[in-house]
Chains A and B, each alone.
Chain A
Amino acid sequence: MDNQTPSFITRIVLALSVFFRILFDPRFALGVLGLKEGKGPAAVASESTDSKADTSAPPPPPRLKEAGPDAALQLLGLLQQEGRFIDFIEEDVVSYADADIGAAARVVHEGCRKAMREHLTIAEVRSDAEGSRVTLAKGFDATAIRLTGNVVGEPPFTGVVTHKGWRATEVRLPKLSVNHDVTILAPAEVEL
């Protein structure tokens, strides 16, 4: 498999799972961003080792907050409930024709989109068209805008928007009863 490019099917699955990892795992997202900028796997790997070295170096250990699993599991449950997300990812796609996978992808796309729109409001970070030139003034938000490429000198910076970015402007997850077990992403069904 080493040098083979993945099939279309595998790519769909990969795209979906990567989408969520990008959403929930900033470090992973950083790596993907590197890939997207064309640095190649090696560069990404070395970058992530660098950052590892950075974080472990300072004497007072940096305080990292740990994301509770509840909201992530709840969202996963909603995606399964509306869009059969886990069924899709867990199924072995190798033996199926692209048309069959495409049909299932419709269910997943429609359902996940409904769930996402119901529970999250997602807006573009930059409203400029991708490919257009923009100028970033001094003091721009470095979390919302990631600089890549020839990052030298002082702002204002001028560059090209390669990805407009996404921002969750509102999260509306349903409330849960106190004893609700979020680890059950979908209950087993038994018909009597």
Chain B
Amino acid sequence: MSEADFAIGIDLGTTHCALSYVDLNAETDGEGGIQGVLQVPQLTAPGTVGELPLLPSFIYLPHETELAAGDLTLPWVEQPGYALGDFARSRGALTPIRMVSSAKSWLSHSGVDRRAGILPHDAPEEVNRISPLQASTRYLEHLKESWNNQFPDKPMDRQDVTITIPASFDPAARELTAEAAELAGFQRANLLEEPQAALYSWIQGSQGEWRKQANPGDIILVVDVGGGTTDLSLIAIIDREGNLEPHRVAVGDHILLGGDNMDLALAHVVGAKLAGQGTQLDPWQLRALTHGCRAAKEVLLGDADQESIPLVVPSRGSRLIGGSIRTELTRDEVRNTILEGFFPQVDAAARPISRPRAGLTQLGLPYAQDAAVTRHLAAFLGRQAQATEELPGFEGRAQGASFLHPTAVLFNGGIFKSSLLSERVMKNLNLWLEAEQAPPARLLSGADLDLAVARGSAYYGKVRLGGGVRIRGGTAQSFYVGIETSMPAVPGLEPPVMALCVAPFGMEEGTEADLPPQEFGLVVGEPVRFRFFESSVRRKDEVGVMLESWLPEELQELGEIEVTLPAEGRSLGEVVPVGLHAAVTETGTLRLEASPVTGEERWKVELDVRQP
């Protein structure tokens, strides 16, 4: 790794990707450093290649007659067979059945086979669908080719690459991201959680000033609201022999809720207003309106004096003046929809409302049912009330607290450019804190809301090579394998399941867990499946602990895991006693292996199993 010239950070986002880089040879101190953001060549129209700092995470699979020869040509490939980026998004908006979007959310959806061609989700038969894994691979490939195109002497596979993932990604989604990087031809890429990347970017951007803004004993809440996901993390600052050490203590659930939902909600509000006046919008017009609402929202949330913004839904035909629809978005509409809909003032005891799902739900993405970010935040802090108890310097802090008390907040994501939204979150939080006689939390200033994740991950690459403050903490979950207990069969009753801890909380990269004493009998040549669980609150469970019962919110069930013992040197059907061994790789993925009690062999346990 030492021959790398650049540390490259890739923000592989739900709606956009970005690539930032740090020159490792540049003479800089630990927390400064010159950074660049790659201008990514991409199709902006048929046969037209423009360079933009963001690569929209969309793929368009055109009909064979739809485009002329050469319309998809990129500087590095003549006939890619698909469009990716800006043009894919704009064309796909007109023909959604051929557009792949939100591949990242699908990649983390354990209810589907993520290696199977399932995207676009609602494509007709004749479209050659691709898998969420393939889509992610293509985005990474595109970024790699863009880089190699601009830096032919410094190919990507010789640089130190970091790819960001939501902190809430489960082990299977992490592994799939690492696999996508491998398939895209990255020699090695590290994974970094997005809220951590945001904090790294803030540390770097402060040019050393962060030591004045953060103190030992601080608990920093990172609120990262992206285009499609909301990601929460808690990072404690501990004093390690006189040095400040950020320690990530907890991460939130995977919440599919983001800025795009807000723009869409506004478009529907305006659409309903127009419908009341007798004007019906078609999907194309609704999309144009969503676009207009996004820009208008930013102005109305940012400028207190602006009462309303005129919106024009352009006609689809060439008659622009005669065919366009005039309307407006008012400040009250934005406030009611965004502030009260997505950031309502709630109690610390509030929890997201979950409606019972309808009997026949379409197989789709598990979008958050409650749009209120503040309720998700209250639930997260409530669940993590005890998160810092184990840390040196934090003992006893949580006594009498019904939720974990952050002392500082770092925001990330473009929507927080509106100070109204960040103020509303701060106000919620500080009212909760006041109710429990805790001091108000501070807002950490100076964050780069749009590019922090890409920048922070490039900086992390530099930190890994020994050039700055590193966030510690390891895995934010402990992991369990479900074991069915033997009992007489009772019709209609599932046999009770016990959970065996195989990986404790806080495993650092490049470490292995102890081998649990329990043994399993695996049948040679047959795939054997286990139920798999994680917990973000059981911090003290050690390897080998067997849970007979737990509270529903303590353990979350993940997708099943599977292991197959090859028949080499054994007879099919033979039962071999094995132990389950967990490790966290240098890349940052969880690795589970089965190894026979007698012998040195190891077999990989698949975390991402095809759904039956």
Contacts and interface: CB of A to CB of B under 8 A. Distances in A.
Interface string A87-125: 110110100100111011011101000000010000000
Question: Would you list the 4 A-B pairs with minimal beta carbon distance, nearest first?
Answer: A180-B47, A174-B50, A177-B47, A177-B70
B44 interface: yes
Contacts of B75: 175
B369 interface: no
Contact of A106 (B44, B71, B310): B310
Given A81-B45, A103-B312, A106-B310, A177 B320 contact: no
A107 B41 CA distance: 27
Contacts of B486: none
B220 to A, nearest CB: 36
Contacts of B50: 118, 172, 174-175
B358 interface: no
B320 A176 contact: no
Contact of B48 (A103, A107, A176): A176
Contact of A107 (B51, B69, B71, B324): B324
Interface in B438-479: none
A110 to B, nearest CB: 8
13 contacts: A84-B320, A90-B318, A103-B310, A103-B326, A104-B320, A107-B314, A174-B48, A174-B51, A175-B48, A175-B50, A175-B75, A177-B71, A180-B47
A179 interface: yes
B297 to A, nearest CB: 15
B321 A88 contact: yes
A107 B45 CA distance: 20
B55 to A, nearest CB: 15
Interface in B311-336: 312, 314, 316, 318-322, 324, 326
B583 to A, nearest CB: 47
Contacts of B51: 172, 174
Interface of B: 41, 44-51, 68-71, 73, 75, 295, 310, 312, 314, 316, 318-322, 324, 326
A177 B48 CA distance: 6
A179 B46 CA distance: 11
A176 B326 CA distance: 35
Interface string A30-60: 0000000000000000000000000000000
A103 B70 contact: no
A178 interface: yes
A100 B321 contact: yes
Contacts of A81: 45
A178 B71 CA distance: 9
Contacts of B314: 84, 104, 107
Nearest to A188: B318
A101 B310 contact: no
A179 B310 contact: no
B291 to A, nearest CB: 10
A77 B71 CA distance: 16
Contacts of A180: 46-48, 70-71
Contacts of A101: 321
Nearest to A86: B318
A97 to B, nearest CB: 10
B318 to A, nearest CB: 5
Interface string A161-184: 000000000001011111111000
Contact of B319 (A77, A87, A106): A87
A189 B93 CA distance: 14
Contacts of A77: 45
Contact of B320 (A87, A178, A179): A87
Given A90-B318, A91-B318, 10 more contacts: A77-B45, A91-B320, A96-B321, A103-B312, A103-B324, A174-B45, A175-B50, A177-B71, A177-B73, A179-B47
Nearest to B319: A91
A169 B476 CA distance: 50
